């Protein structure tokens, strides 16, 4: 797992979400997480199903934020769980060994260690920078990635106000994927933004690949 990790915005406009997501996938985004905290159950099902079809077309995984049952219903590729969602162990037990289970670990290496023990596919750290989407009550130290890279045999995802410029030092410190919402979905040139993010990995001797 390496490259740009797309997280969808809280948009009710499904067509707009799909248009932007497709542009990003066509430009080389690696993975999509469907996250719409305010969606109704019907809208969530509609959007997730449409995104799954799109991801299948481009050969990229779709994971669902929090909703394990929706993942199971659609046959999506996995879930992402946070501190107030079900645990990694519960998600892994529900989905089995082959699905992606990502874990929010904030700025806490102990959480990442526990997630690894419980079967997480990757550990996500953040927020590193101020975010327009999620307000963090803390700032994660970039040096945490250096220690996490030494200890964990999991891909590391970074999130929180990411841009191609400020993500560079995090990739240098060991991040395998950069998660982005605003800096991809709200810009004029979606494809250009994706290419800028992916260039971070080639600049540091890594190659972007499908998850």
Catalytic residues: 35, 104, 134
DSSP for 131-196 reads -SS---SS---THHHHHHHHH--S-EEE-SS--TTTTHHHHHTT-SEEEESHHHHTSS-HHHHHHH
For the chain, how long is the longest CA-to-CA vector?
43
Q: Which residues pair with 3 in a beta bridge?
A: 177
Give the relative orientation of helices 190-203 and 14-27 as an angle to the nearest 10 degrees: 40
């Amino acid at each position: 797992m390496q490259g740009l990790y797309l997280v969808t915005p809280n948009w009710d406009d499904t067509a707009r979400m799909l248009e932007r997501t497709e542009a990003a996938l066509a430009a080389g985004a690696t993975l999509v997480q469907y996250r719409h905290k305010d969606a109704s159950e019907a809208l969530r099902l509609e959007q997730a199903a449409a995104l799954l079809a799109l991801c299948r077309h481009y050969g990229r995984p779709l994971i669902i934020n929090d909703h394990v049952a929706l993942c199971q219903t659609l046959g999506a590729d996995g879930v992402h769980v946070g501190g107030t969602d079900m645990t990694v162990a519960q998600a892994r037990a529900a989905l089995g060994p082959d699905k992606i289970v990502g874990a929010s670990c904030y700025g806490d290496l102990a959480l990442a260690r526990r997630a690894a023990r419980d079967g997480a596919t990757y550990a996500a750290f953040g927020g590193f920078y101020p975010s327009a989407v999620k307000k963090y009550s803390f700032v994660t130290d970039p040096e945490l990635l250096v220690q996490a890279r030494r200890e964990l045999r999991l891909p590391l995802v970074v999130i929180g106000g990411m841009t191609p410029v400020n993500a560079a030092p995090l990739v240098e410190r060991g991040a395998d994927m950069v998660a982005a919402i605003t800096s991809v979905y709200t810009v004029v040139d979606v494809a250009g933004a994706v290419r800028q993010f992916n260039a971070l990995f080639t600049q540091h001797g890594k190659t972007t690949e499908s998850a």
